[in-house]
C-alpha cells in the first residue's frame, strides 16, 4: 500500500471535496467532518512518505496512468517535496480545526461549498508540491488560485475589489509561467522536469531558454508578492475572513517559493542558474528592497492584519534572497525558512483570528489589556512574535542564522545588513504590540474612578480565555515553533542536506 | 500612469519580438517540439490505446491526470461562483399570474398556484415579456443541439470531439432555453440542486474510475487494470476507460456551465435572468 | 534601406508570423488590463491575454503539409468486432509522423482554455459583487468612494 501513497495523498482529499460539496445540500454538519477527516488522512500520508524518503534516501516515483517518463505524468517525492508536504497538510488541518467557530459564524448556509473549496485548495497545493511535470504544475496552480479567490472574496465590504485585483495579478503571474513552459517546450520538446534537467545543460547558450527562465521567474515573483508587484497582498489578506487568511497566508507564498526553488534548482540546474546566468546579484538586490520595504511598511500600519501581511512580504524577501545567494548555507536557510515561516505565520494569523473573535476589532489599539484577560493566547502570541524577530530557541532564529551565514559566506554584506535591520524593525513592532496588550487597561474596564463600585460587568480581573477548540490548535502551533527551533539541526542534516544537489558549495 | 503603462508594454513587446528571432520557423517539421516527444504518441496510440484520435488518447490516457484536474478546475469555478454570489430568496406572500389568452392578471395569496398552469405566466417586478418567434424557434433547435452534443461525446474516439466539447454543447442548449424562455422555466426543468449534484457526480466518475484502477491493483488511472471489468483485453480496456472518463467530463462540464450561468445571470438570486 | 534588406526582413517576419501575431495580441490584452479604468474592460483584456497564449501554443504544433492528428482510418464493423489484435495489425502499417501535426500542444491548450473560462467566470462573479457594493464598475469612481467613505 505504501507504494500508492503519492497518489492517495491527493486522491483522498479530491474525493472528499466531492463528497463535501455534495453532502452540503443534504446535511449541514457533514461537510466539516469529512473535510477534517480527509485533511488529517493526508497529513498521515505525508508523514509516512517523509519517513520513507528519509530512511531509504531514495526519492519515490509514481507513474500516473502507468506511463513512464516524458510520455506520462510522473510524481516525484524527494526530500524537499516530502517536508513541504508535511508542512502543507499540518497547517491546513490545524487551521480548519481551530477556526470552526469562525466558519459557522461567517459561512452559515454554504458549508458544503466552503469546505469543498478549502479541501480543493489544499489538494492543489499538495499536487503542486509533488508533481514532476511542468504543465501539471500550472493546472494545479490554477486550482489553488481559483479556490483562493473564492475563499478571499467573501469577506468585508472591500473584499471583492481586493480579490479582483488579486485575480488580475495572479492571472498575469500564472500565464507568464505558462508562457515560460511554452518556451521551454519549443526549445526542448518535453515537459517532464527530470528530462528538462538533462536537456538544458546541453543548450546553455540558447536565448530561448534564457528567456523562458526570465519569464517563468517573473510570473512566480508576481505570485509571491515580491517588490514591485506586491500590491495585491496586503489588501487581499486584510479584507478576507480569518479562516481564509489562516489557510492562505501561511501557504500560498511559501509554496510559490518552493516552486521557484524547484524550477531554478531541479529544472534549470544550479550550474545554469548560478553559474551561467549573471542575474543572482540583481535578484538579491530586489530581495533586499523587498525586505526593507516590507518591514518599514509594517511599522506604519495600525491594522493588525495589514501589519502581518507586510511582514509576510518581508519574509518572502528573506527566502528569495537567501536562495539566490547561491551557496549551500543560503539555500538551506531559504528551505528551512519555508518550514519555519509557514508555522510562524499560522500562529500569528490564528492569534489574530482569536483577537478579532474576542474584541471584534482589527486595529492595534483593540489589543489593550489582553494579557490579563487571555494569558494563554498572549503567551502563544509572544512566542510567535519572538520567532519573527529571531530570538533563540524559537525557529525563526535558526533560519535567520543560516541566511546570515550564507550572506557572509557569499560576501553580500548588504543582504546581512537588511536581515539585521528587519529583525530590529520586527522587534520594535512586536514589543509595541506587547506593550499595548500588557500595560494598557482592558477596553471594558475603562474605569473613570467614580463609577468603580457600580460596575456590573464580569470584572476586568476575571480571565476569559478563548474557547478550547480555538485555543488548543493555536497552542500546538506556537509550541511547534520551539520544537522546530530545537530540532533545526536535525532537519537540516537529515532532510535539507539531501534536497540540495551536491554540486552546490 | 497611462504613459508608464504604455511604455512598459512597448518595452515588453519589443523585448519579446527580439527573442523570437531564435525560435524555429512556423510549420517547421524538424523543430524539437515536433521531433522529441510527439512522434511516440502518433506512432503508438493505436497499439497502446486503440483510439485513432491522438488528441483524445493523449488527453484522457497518457496525460489523463492533467485532465482530471482540469475538470476539477471547472468544478472549482462553479463552486466559487456559488459561494460568492448565491443569496437566498426571501419568502413571498403573494404572487401575480397573467392569464395569457385573455390578458387578465390574478393575484394569488400564500403558496397557492393556478390549476391550469400551462396558460398562466408568473409576473413580478423582474418580469420581461418573452418573444414568441424566438422561443418557438429555439424550442425546435434545442433537441438537435442535444443530440449533436451526445454524438460529439460518443464519437470522440474517431473524430474531433470528446468530453469537454460535448459538455459545452449540452450546457449551451440549456442556456439557450434559459435565454429564449425565462430563467425560471429553465430552473424548473433543470434545477440548481441538479446542476450542483451532477457536476460533483461528473468529477466523481472520473476520479472514481482512477480509484477503481487503484483498487484493482494497478497505478492510479491505469485503465488497463479494468480489463476484467469490461471483459476485454488490456488495450481495449484503455479505450473503454477513456470513454468512461469522457462521459464523466461531459456530465461535469454540462452541469457547471449551467450552474455558473444561473448564478452569474441572476446575480445570485436565481429569480430572473437576462 | 535597400530592396534586398526589405525583402529579407519581410521573409523573416513571414517565417515567424505566428510569434509576431501572438506578441501583438498579448500586448493588446496586457494594455487593456493595466491601463483601462472599467473593470469589465480589464476582464476582457485578461481574456485576450490568455487567448494569445493559447494561439501561441497551438501554432507551435503546426507542420507544413500535415493534417489534423486523427489517424486516417476507415471505420468498419469487422475491425471493431475483432478487438485489439486486428487494430494492432492495422497499426503495423507505418504511420508517417510528418503526415500529422503535433498533438501535444492541442491537449495542453484544451486545459488552458478551460482554465481561462473558469477564471473568466470567477472574475465576472467578483465584478457583479463589486457592482452591487459600489454601484459602479469604473475604478476611479470606486477609488473616490473609498477615499471619501
C32-43 confidence digits (pLDDT tens): 998 888 999 999
C29 close contact with B: CB closer than 8 A: no
Is B53 close to C70, i.e. CB distance below 8 A?
yes
Complex confidence, ipTM: 0.89
φ/ψ of residue A121, rounded to 5: -60, -50
- Give the end-to-end CA distance of chain C in Å, rounded to a whole number: 60
How high is the pLDDT of residue A448?
41
C-alpha cell at A438: 500588557
Distance separating alpha carbons of residues B190 and B258, to the nearest angstrom: 9
Q: Quick one: which of A501, A505, A503, A490 has its CA closest to A54?
A: A490
Q: What is residue A442's predicted lDDT score, i.e. its pLDDT? A: 66
Mean pLDDT across chain B? 84
Report d(CA B101, CA B117) in Å as an integer: 13
- Interface test mutation site (partner B, options A15, A31, A66, A168, max chain B beta carbons within 10 A): A66
CA-wise closest residue to A409 among A467, A487, A333: A333
> Is there a domain that residue A264 lies in?
no
List domains and CATH numbers for chain C.
2-63+101-148 (1.10.287.3510)
Question: Is residue A255 in a domain?
Answer: no
- Positive or negative: CA dihedral B97, B98, B99, B102: positive
SS3 labels along A340-380: HHHHHHHHHHHHHHHHHHHHCCCEHHHHCCHHHHCHHHHHH
Instruction: List, for residues A310-345, the tens digit of each pLDDT value.
Output: 999 999 999 999 998 888 888 888 999 999 999 999
- Chain A environment of C130 (Cβ under 8 Å): 160-161, 164
Counting residues of chain C whose pLDDT is more than 90, the rounded percentage is: 34
How far is Cα A292 from Cα A287, in angstroms, rounded to an integer? 9
C70, β-bridge pairs = B53
Q: Are B84 and A190 inside 8 Å of each other by CB? A: no
With respect to residue A285, please indicate whether it lies within any of the assigned structural domains: yes
The C-alpha cell 502551533 sits at A477
For residue B125, what is its C-alpha cell? 417586478
Supply the range of the domain harboring residue A407.
279-444+459-505
Can you tell me the distance from the alpha carbon of B206 to that of B72, in angstroms, rounded to the nearest whole number?
A: 10
> Residue B91 — pLDDT band, cuts 50, 70, 90?
low
Ramachandran angles phi, psi of B109, nearest 5°: -90, 155
Per the CB < 8 A criterion, the answer to whether A353 and A99 are in contact is yes
Residue from B8, B48, B77 whose CB has the most chain C CBs within 10 Å, to mutate: B77
Q: What is the pLDDT of residue C122?
A: 94
Cell match 497564449: residue? Answer: C53
pLDDT greater than 70 at residue C22: yes
| CB proximity under 8 Å: C 36-95 to B | 59-64, 66, 68-71, 73, 75, 83-84, 87-88, 90-91, 95
Residue A62's φ and ψ, nearest 5 degrees, are: -130, 125
Residue C45 distance to chain B (closest CA, Å): 13
**Element (DSSP H or E) covering residue A75:** strand A74-77
Any domain includes A110 = no
The answer to whether residues A159 and C136 touch, using CB atoms and an 8 Å cutoff, is no
**Residue B221: which pLDDT band, with cuts at 50, 70 and 90?**
confident
Of C31, C106, C128, the CB nearest to B267: C128
Using a CB-CB cut-off of 8 Å, the residues of chain A touching C142 are: 161
Question: Where residue B257 falls among pLDDT bands split at 50, 70, 90?
Answer: very high
Beta carbons within 10 angstroms of residue B91's beta carbon:
6
- The C-alpha angle A312, A317, A318, rounded to 5 degrees, equals 95
The count of domains in chain A is: 1
Q: Secondary structure of chain B in the HEC alphabet?
A: CHHHHHHHHHHHHHHHHHHHHHCCCCCCCCCHHHHCCHHHHHHHHHHHHCCCEHHHHHHHHHCHHHHHHHHHHHHHHHHHHHHHHCCCCCCCCEEEEEECCCCCEEEEECCCCCCCCCCEEEECCCCCCCCHHHHHHHHHHHHHHHHHHHHHHHCCCCCCCCHHHHHHHHHHHHHHHHHHCCHHHHHHHCCHHHHHHHHHHHHHHHHHHHHHHHHCCCCCCCHHHHHHHHCCCHHHHHHHHHHHHHHHHHHHHHHHHHHHHHHHHCCCCCCCCC
Give a yes or no: residue A1 inside a domain: no
Chain A residue with minimum CA distance to C146: A158
**Nearest to residue B251, comparing CAs of B215, B191, B206?**
B206
What pLDDT score does B176 carry?
A: 93
Burial class (CB in 10 A: 0-12, 13-18, 19+), B101: exposed
Closest Cα in chain A to C34: A168
Per-position pLDDT tens, chain A of length 505 = 678 888 899 999 999 999 999 888 887 788 888 999 999 999 999 999 999 988 888 888 888 888 887 888 899 998 899 999 999 999 999 999 988 888 887 777 788 889 999 999 999 999 999 998 999 999 999 999 999 999 998 878 888 999 999 999 999 999 999 999 999 998 888 888 988 888 888 888 778 888 889 999 999 999 988 888 888 899 888 888 888 888 999 999 999 999 999 999 888 888 888 888 788 888 999 999 999 999 999 888 888 888 999 999 999 999 999 998 888 888 888 999 999 999 999 999 998 888 888 777 777 777 777 777 778 888 888 889 999 988 888 888 988 999 999 999 888 889 999 999 999 999 998 888 888 877 777 655 443 444 444 444 444 445 677 788 888 888 888 888 888 888 888 888 878 888 887 777 7
For B162-192, the pLDDT digits (tens) are 889 999 999 999 999 988 887 888 888 888 8
Is residue B227 pLDDT above 90, yes or no? no
Q: Has residue A198 been placed in a domain?
A: no
Residue of A nearest to C108 (CA): A135
Could you tell me if residue A78 is inside a domain? no
Interface test with B, best of A35, A64, A142, A188 (most B CBs within 10 A): A64
DSSP line for A114-128: HHHHHHHHHHHHHHH
User: Residue holding cell 476586568?
Assistant: A460
Amino acid at each position: 500500500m505504501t507504494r500508492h501513497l503519492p497518489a492517495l495523498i491527493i486522491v483522498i482529499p479530491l474525493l472528499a471535496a466531492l463528497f463535501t460539496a455534495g453532502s452540503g445540500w443534504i446535511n449541514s454538519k457533514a461537510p466539516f467532518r469529512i473535510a477534517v477527516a480527509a485533511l488529517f488522512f493526508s497529513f498521515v500520508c505525508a508523514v509516512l512518505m517523509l519517513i520513507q524518503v528519509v530512511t531509504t534516501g531514495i526519492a519515490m516515483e509514481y507513474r500516473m496512468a502507468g506511463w513512464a517518463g516524458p510520455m506520462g505524468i510522473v510524481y516525484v517525492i524527494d526530500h524537499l517535496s516530502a517536508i513541504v508536504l508535511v508542512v502543507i497538510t499540518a497547517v491546513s488541518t490545524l487551521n480548519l480545526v481551530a477556526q470552526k467557530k469562525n466558519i459557522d459564524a461567517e459561512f452559515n448556509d454554504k458549508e458544503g461549498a466552503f469546505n469543498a473549496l478549502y479541501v480543493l485548495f489544499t489538494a492543489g497545493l499538495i499536487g503542486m508540491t509533488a508533481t514532476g511535470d511542468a504543465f501539471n504544475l500550472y493546472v494545479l496552480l490554477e486550482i489553488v488560485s481559483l479556490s483562493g479567490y473564492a475563499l478571499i472574496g467573501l469577506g468585508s465590504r472591500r473584499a471583492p475589489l481586493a480579490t479582483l485585483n488579486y485575480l488580475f495579478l495572479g492571472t498575469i503571474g500564472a500565464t507568464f509561467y505558462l508562457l515560460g513552459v511554452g518556451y521551454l517546450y519549443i526549445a526542448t520538446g518535453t515537459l517532464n522536469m527530470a528530462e528538462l534537467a538533462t536537456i538544458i545543460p546541453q543548450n546553455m547558450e540558447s536565448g530561448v531558454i534564457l528567456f523562458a527562465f526570465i519569464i517563468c521567474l517573473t510570473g512566480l515573483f508576481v505570485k509571491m508578492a515580491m517588490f514591485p508587484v506586491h500590491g495585491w497582498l496586503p489588501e487581499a489578506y486584510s479584507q478576507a475572513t480569518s479562516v481564509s487568511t489562516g489557510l492562505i497566508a501561511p501557504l500560498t507564498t511559501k509554496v510559490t517559493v518552493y516552486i521557484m526553488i524547484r524550477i531554478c534548482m531541479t529544472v534549470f540546474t544550479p550550474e545554469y542558474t548560478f553559474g551561467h546566468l549573471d542575474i543572482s546579484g540583481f535578484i538579491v538586490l530586489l530581495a533586499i528592497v523587498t525586505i526593507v520595504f516590507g518591514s518599514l511598511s509594517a511599522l506604519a500600519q495600525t491594522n493588525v492584519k495589514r501589519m502581518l501581511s507586510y511582514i509576510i512580504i518581508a519574509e518572502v524577501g528573506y527566502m528569495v534572497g537567501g536562495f539566490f545567494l547561491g551557496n549551500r548555507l543560503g539555500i538551506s536557510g531559504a528551505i528551512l525558512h519555508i518550514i519555519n515561516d509557514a508555522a510562524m505565520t499560522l500562529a500569528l494569523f490564528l492569534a489574530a483570528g482569536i483577537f478579532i473573535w474576542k474584541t471584534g476589532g482589527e486595529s492595534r489599539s483593540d489589543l489593550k489589556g489582553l494579557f490579563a484577560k487571555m494569558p494563554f493566547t498572549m503567551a502563544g502570541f509572544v512566542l510567535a512574535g519572538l520567532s519573527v524577530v529571531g530570538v533563540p530557541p524559537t525557529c525563526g532564529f535558526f533560519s535567520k542564522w543560516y541566511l546570515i551565514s550564507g550572506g557572509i559566506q557569499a560576501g553580500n554584506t548588504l543582504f546581512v545588513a537588511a536581515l539585521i535591520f528587519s529583525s530590529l524593525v520586527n522587534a520594535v513592532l512586536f514589543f509595541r504590540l506587547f506593550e499595548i496588550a500588557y500595560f494598557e487597561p482592558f477596553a471594558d474596564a475603562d474605569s473613570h474612578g467614580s463609577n468603580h463600585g457600580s460596575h456590573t460587568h464580569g470584572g476586568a480581573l476575571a480571565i476569559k480565555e478563548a474557547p478550547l477548540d480555538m485555543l488548543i490548535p493555536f497552542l500546538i502551533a506556537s509550541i511547534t515553533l520551539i520544537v522546530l527551533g530545537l530540532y533545526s539541526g536535525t532537519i537540516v542534516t537529515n532532510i535539507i542536506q539531501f534536497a540540495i544537489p551536491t554540486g552546490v558549495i | 500612469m497611462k504613459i508608464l503603462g504604455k511604455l512598459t508594454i512597448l518595452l515588453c513587446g519589443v523585448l519579446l519580438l527580439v527573442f523570437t528571432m531564435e525560435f524555429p520557423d512556423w510549420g517547421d517539421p524538424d523543430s524539437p517540439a515536433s521531433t522529441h516527444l510527439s512522434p511516440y504518441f502518433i506512432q503508438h496510440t493505436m497499439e497502446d490505446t486503440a483510439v485513432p484520435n491522438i488528441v483524445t488518447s493523449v488527453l484522457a490516457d497518457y496525460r489523463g491526470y492533467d485532465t482530471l484536474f482540469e475538470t476539477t478546475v471547472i468544478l472549482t469555478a462553479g463552486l466559487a461562483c456559488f459561494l460568492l454570489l448565491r443569496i437566498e430568496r426571501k419568502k413571498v406572500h403573494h404572487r401575480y399570474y397573467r392569464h395569457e389568452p385573455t390578458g387578465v392578471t390574478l393575484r394569488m395569496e400564500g403558496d397557492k398556484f393556478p390549476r391550469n398552469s400551462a396558460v398562466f405566466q408568473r409576473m413580478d417586478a423582474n418580469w420581461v415579456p418573452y418573444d414568441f418567434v424566438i422561443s418557438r424557434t429555439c424550442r425546435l433547435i434545442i433537441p438537435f443541439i442535444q443530440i449533436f452534443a451526445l454524438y460529439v461525446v460518443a464519437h470522440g474516439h474517431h473524430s474531433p470531439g470528446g468530453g469537454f466539447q460535448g459538455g459545452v454543447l449540452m450546457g449551451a442548449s440549456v442556456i439557450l432555453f434559459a435565454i429564449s424562455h425565462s430563467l425560471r422555466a429553465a430552473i424548473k426543468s433543470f434545477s440548481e440542486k441538479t446542476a450542483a449534484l451532477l457536476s460533483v457526480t461528473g468529477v466523481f466518475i472520473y476520479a472514481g474510475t482512477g480509484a477503481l484502477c487503484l483498487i484493482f491493483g494497478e497505478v492510479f488511472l491505469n485503465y488497463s487494470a479494468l480489463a476484467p471489468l469490461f471483459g476485454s483485453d488490456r488495450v481495449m480496456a484503455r479505450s473503454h476507460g477513456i470513454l468512461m472518463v469522457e462521459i464523466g467530463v461531459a456530465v461535469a462540464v454540462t452541469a457547471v456551465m449551467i450552474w455558473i450561468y444561473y448564478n452569474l445571470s441572476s446575480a445570485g438570486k436565481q429569480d430572473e435572468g437576462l | 534601406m535597400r530592396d534586398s534588406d526589405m525583402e529579407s526582413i519581410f521573409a523573416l517576419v513571414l517565417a515567424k508570423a505566428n510569434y509576431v501575431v501572438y506578441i501583438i495580441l498579448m500586448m493588446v490584452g496586457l494594455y487593456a488590463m493595466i491601463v483601462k479604468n472599467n473593470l469589465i474592460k480589464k476582464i476582457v483584456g485578461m481574456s485576450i491575454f490568455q487567448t494569445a497564449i493559447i494561439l501561441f501554443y497551438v501554432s507551435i504544433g503546426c507542420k507544413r503539409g500535415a493534417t489534423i492528428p486523427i489517424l486516417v482510418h476507415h471505420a468498419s464493423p469487422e475491425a471493431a468486432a475483432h478487438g485489439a489484435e486486428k487494430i494492432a495489425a492495422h497499426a503495423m502499417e507505418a504511420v508517417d509522423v510528418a503526415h500529422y501535426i503535433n498533438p501535444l500542444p492541442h491537449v495542453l491548450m484544451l486545459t488552458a482554455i478551460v482554465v481561462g473560462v473558469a477564471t473568466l467566470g470567477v472574475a465576472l462573479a467578483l465584478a457583479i459583487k463589486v457592482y452591487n457594493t459600489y454601484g459602479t464598475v469604473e475604478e476611479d469612481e470606486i477609488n473616490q468612494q473609498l477615499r471619501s467613505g
